[in-house]
Amino acid sequence: MTVSESMSRLDAQRQALVEAALEHVPFDGWTKQSLLAGAEDLDLAPGEVDRLLPDGIRQAIITYVELVDRKMVAALDEKGLDDMKIRQRIATAVKTRLDLVEDQKDAVRAALANLALPQNVALGLKLTHGTVDKMWVAAGDTSTDHNWYTKRMLLAGVYGSTLAFWLDDKSDGHADSWAFLDRRISNVLQIPKITAKFGQVGKFAAAPFKLGAKLSRCVPTAGRMRRQFGG
């Protein structure tokens, strides 16, 4: 077996363990107990948990988020985003991402609670960046300048606020969440012009995703947002 094949096999085993553990997360949270219960469901020895997830719960959550992200990308590939306007592509990406975890709200809440811990805030920002980056790529974004950062910062805000609303949404088909999402995208289009130069905006926007700093002071102009989310 080649190194590449060995790594692929390890990744597949890790993902299988995390997916099995999801059945227990609503009761035990993202804990070692949930991982051990998942391993038992797969007829794995308890020691396999540490072998597959040497970084523990932190690695389990990373695996979970990245697994759903890959499913999102695959689903978006089948939705014909090229025929949609940019804002429709983004709305579709956010909806698709949340639909994939519709039956896993407790697991999502538990993951967010873990990522809200001071020692995990930077990881939470990194994972959010990874998710919204994949959304923009699926939407056809090809920017390479500071726009790349501002787009992802803004979508992180839209996605994060919609996720928070969606977690407590009990409306039929999450209709209220999708209306909220549309309002959030519309709000982005109405952001007033600020005095900061474009280069300064890009500089501040780059910092959170590169260094795990707070998402702040990254407000773009209304015209730029219409170009990015409108169309």
Answer for the pair 163, 98: CB distance below 8 angstroms, yes or no.
yes
Q: What is the 3-state secondary structure (H, E, C) of 120-181?
A: HHHHHHHHHHHHHHHHHHHCCCCCCCCHHHHHHHHHHHHHHHHHHHHHCCCCHHHHHHHHHH
Give the pLDDT confidence of 207-224 residue by residue, as tens digits: 444 444 343 334 444 454
Give the pLDDT confidence of 175-214 residue by residue, as tens digits: 999 999 999 998 876 654 333 333 444 544 454 444 443 4
Give the pLDDT confidence of 70-121 residue by residue, as tens digits: 999 999 999 989 889 988 999 999 999 999 999 999 999 999 999 999 999 9
CA-closest candidate to residue 189, choices 222, 228, 162: 222
- What's the rounded Cα separation, in Å, for the pair 48 and 51? 5
155 Cβ neighbours under 8 A, 6+ residues apart: 90, 132, 135, 136
- What global pTM score does this model have? 0.82
207 Cβ neighbours under 8 A, 6+ residues apart: 213
- If you count DSSP H runs as helices and E runs as strands, how many of each does the chain have, helices first? 12, 0
